[in-house]
Amino acid sequence: MAKSIEHQDPSLYNEDLAPIPKAQRKWGAFEIFNVWANDVQSLFGYTLAASLFISYGLNGWSVFLAILIAGFFVMWLVNLMGRPSVEHGIPFPVMARVSMGVRGANFPAMVRGVVAIFWYGAQTYFASTAVAMLLYALLGTDASGGEFLGMTGIAWLALLIVWSFQVALFWQGIDWISRFLNFAGPFVYIVMIVLAAMIWIEAGSDLLPQLGTIFQGMGSYEGSSITAFFAVVGTMIAYFAAVVINYGDFSRFVATEGQMKKGNFYGLPLNIAFFSLIALIVTAGTAVVFGETVTNPTEMVERVDSLPLTIIAALMFFAATVGINLVANFIPPAYDLANLAPSKINFRVGGAITSVCGLIIGALWVSTISQIGIFGFVNTLGAILAPVYGIMITDYYLVKSQSIDLAALFSADPDGQYFYDNGWNRRAMMAFALAGIFSVCTVWVPALEGLSGFSWVIGAALGALIYYVIIKR
């Protein structure tokens, strides 16, 4: 039972949005670590980690340093965002009411929800490719045959299996989700270490020289080594940007700030560095075994052509992709949708809406969505969330001095602290609009592409600065 809030407004309150008392929180550092472990250990996460060593022309030590700097910076960002949710037990959309207003918070929540739902559908499809790979291997069939909307019968079956599994897991509640994440994180690590060992054995004595070649720096990058270094840092920061803003959705389940910080430390800089090391070893091994560097894990498994490896790899890819999907794309919109209409939509109903929309997106991914220019739209929505982070952090730490009136967060009283102007903080919305211009330009203006992942950081900083200036006028 959530902490009781007296005189709550039905349009702002339900049990899923209400503060969680510290006595009822079950998460510790291990659970927070696994949130990040599942975020990093996706198919895209592996490919990204491997490509950092071969695409920028930097030596390995420079890449590792850049990765560590990015990890510590993201850790700092989420520690700031996570503290108020640890202190008060509230999710991101409720925390947003402090700075945006009890009605104004619906806007960033809706934007975050739409972006997450889109990527939930996409990741559901990507996870289904791992299951399809397993089914093809077990059944002894190939990917040929009749197709509907660009997918074979096996591919459709795999999509429905992944979708059903995620829905069933989500329907059991946050405790079951936590158990899955706690299983998936270590499991993927074990399989990755085994894969690295197998590649090392196959490559033999040629691995270390190849590892040294990659470590010395390969590939080319337009610009200086300093520019390349910061491009790596920016790329890693951008990878985590989506989860940073709604990190309170997870930290609210942690009893103490110390546990949260410990989980963030192990889960971000240390976890990223270790995972990148494994990716480096495996990539060097593929250069020896296949005669070229292979950064796509699926392609790697297909080339080995081993049924036991295919089974293990498929299970790993499935666990890793479902893990990041739950963390980044399922839990956030469930809370965000609940915030739009708490009296009608709870956490489960929000998850059900997310799952249905995600199934449609996943089903149409091959034939339609991947073929049209929808990514610009989705990336635009993601970019405009950057100023919201800066506004929320500035308001909480510098304007409100870390003081929150919990009861007022669930009140529609015109005299309430967070009602502002008809429920909207106009000064926050003004800062958001001004800073958002830059954020949107980073998606559509080619001249700003060179900013890479720092566009999010700059957008957040602009939101913070403009809001502070407006408030202090």
**One digit per residue, pLDDT tens: the chain, 473 residues?**
345 566 688 999 999 999 999 999 999 999 999 999 988 887 778 888 888 888 777 888 888 899 999 999 999 999 999 999 999 999 999 999 999 999 999 999 999 999 899 989 988 998 898 898 888 888 877 666 668 888 999 999 999 999 999 999 988 888 899 999 999 988 888 888 887 888 888 888 888 887 777 777 655 566 678 888 888 898 888 888 889 999 999 999 999 999 999 999 999 999 999 998 888 888 888 888 888 888 877 777 777 777 787 888 888 888 888 988 888 899 999 999 999 999 999 999 999 999 999 999 999 988 888 777 676 777 788 888 999 999 999 999 999 999 999 999 999 999 999 999 999 999 999 999 999 999 888 888 888 876 766 888 999 999 999 999 999 88
Note the helical H segments in 246-306. 248-251, 257-265, 271-290, 297-304
Residue 336's pLDDT is what? 94
Nearest to 18 by CA among 87, 84, 88, 90: 90
Residue 4's pLDDT is what? 54
The sign of the CA dihedral 249, 254, 259, 263 is: negative
Residue 396's pLDDT is what? 97
Which residues lie closer than 8 Å to 102 by C-beta, 6 or more apart?
Answer: 12, 409, 410, 411, 412, 416, 418, 419, 423
Residue 144's pLDDT is what? 61
> Class of 22-472 per CATH?
mainly alpha
Q: Are 326 and 166 in contact (CB under 8 A)?
A: yes
Burial 81-116 (b: 16+ CB within 10 A, else e): bbbbbbbbbbbbbbbbbbbbbbbbbbbbbbbbbbbb
Domain boundaries, the chain: 22-472
Count CB atoms within 10 A of the CB of residue 433: 13
> What is each CA distance from 99 to 48, 319, 368, 395, 457, in whole angstroms?
35, 37, 39, 6, 19
As to burial, measured by CB atoms within 10 angstroms (0-12 exposed, 13-18 middle, 19+ buried), residue 221 is middle
Residue 372's pLDDT is what? 76
